[in-house]
Amino acid sequence: METVTTQPARSRATLTDISSRAWEHPADRGALVALRKLKGFDSLLKAISGLFNERAVRLVFLGSAVRVDERQFTRLHGLLGEVARTLDAPELPEMYVVANPEPGALTIGMNKPFIVLNSGLVDLLDTDELRFVIAHELGHAMSGHAVYQTLLQRLIQLTGVLSSVPVGGLGFRAIMAALYEWSRKSELSADRAGLLATQDPATAFRVHMKLASGGHLEDLDATSFFAQGQEYDDADLRDSVLKMLLVENRSHPFLVVRASELRRWVDSGEYTRILAGDYPRRQDDDQAGVSEAAKAAARSYSETFRQSQDAVGKLVHDVAGVLGSVKLWFDEQLRRGDD
C-alpha cells in the first residue's frame, strides 16, 4: 500500500524576491481580470470597502482569539517566520488562533490582511502540515487575495438583501458567480505557494488527504486517493453538468480535486523550475500586463479542456474551435469584400 509519509527536516531554498506571479494559477489572474471588467464591480468594491470596518474585525479577533507571537503558540509563530523567509515575504501578517473545532483557516483584510487558524486545524495537523497551511495563507496575503476574499465573505452575508433588488439582481449574481470562480482558482494558487514554502509534495498531499478524511491518514492510500481525482475528471456528460452545479456556490474546490491539481503542477516541471531559481521577480511586477494575464488564463482553460476526458470540457473546446474557425472565415470574407 502506497502511503504519504513525513520527510525528515532539511534545508529549503530561499526564493529571493519571488513574485506571487510565480505561483498564481493563470485562471486566478484571469478571473480577476474578468471580474474587474464586470459592469458595476468597481462601484460595488468601493461600497463594500466602506461597509467593512477592518479595524473592528481585527478588534474582534484581538478580544476573542489568541494572537500568535514569541510566547503564544510559539511553534506556529516559528513556522510563520520560516515560510516568510522562504518566500521572501516583504511583510509578516498577524496570525490568530480561534476556538473552532472545524478544521479551517482564512486570510482576511482590505488594507492589512491577517491569518486566522481554527483550533481544529491546529489539533489535526502535524508541524510539517501546519507549515504548508500557514504558507498557503501567506500566499493568499502576498497575492492580494485577502481583499477579494473579504469582499466575497461580506457579499455572502448580504446575499439575501442584494439579490432581492429587482434591477441589480442579475448583475449581483454575475459578480457573485465571478467571485466564486475566482475564489476556487485562488485556492489552487495558494496551494502552490504552500508547496513552494514547504518544498515537500508529500506533505502537501497529506494535508489534503487529512482534511478530506478528518485525519484518518493510517486508513488512506495515496494511489487510491489520486485515482478518485482521476475518476472525478473522467466524468460523463451528465456528471459534468452536475459538477458545474455542485461547485457553483463553493468558495473552495473539492479537496481531492485540489490534490490532483497540485500534483499536475508538480508533474508539469514548473515546481522544479522555480526551486532552481527560474521565476518572475517582484521588481518586474509593474511590467506584467493585464492582457498577458488574460491570454494566459485563456490558454489555461483551453489546455484543461483539451486534456480533460470530461465530456462538457471536450464539447466546449470543440465548439470554441468551430466558432474560432467561423470567425476567421467571416473576417476573410469581409477583407475580400473590402478589396
With beta carbons less than 8 A apart as the criterion, state whether 84 and 99 touch: no
**Catalytic site residue from 137, 181, 187, 261:** 137
What is the spatial distance between Cα 73 and Cα 208, in angstroms, rounded to a whole number? 23
Kindly give the interhelix angle for 74-86 and 169-198, rounded to the nearest 10 degrees.
90
3-state secondary structure of 107: strand
With beta carbons less than 8 A apart as the criterion, state whether 286 and 278 touch: no
Task: Provide the CA 125 distance to its chain's centre, in angstroms.
Answer: 20
Task: Provide the CA 283 distance to its chain's centre, in angstroms.
Answer: 23
3-state secondary structure of 14: coil
Give yes or no: 137 in active site: yes
With beta carbons less than 8 A apart as the criterion, state whether 204 and 262 touch: yes
3-state secondary structure of 67: strand
Q: Which residues of 1-14 are buried (b: 16+ CB within 10 A; e: fewer)?
A: eeebeeeeeeebee
Task: Provide the CA 197 distance to its chain's centre, in angstroms.
Answer: 15
Task: Provide the CA 236 distance to its chain's centre, in angstroms.
Answer: 26
Q: Per this entry, what is the length of the chain?
A: 339
What is the spatial distance between Cα 29 and Cα 144, in angstroms, rounded to a whole number? 11
Query: Annotated catalytic sites, by residue?
Result: 137
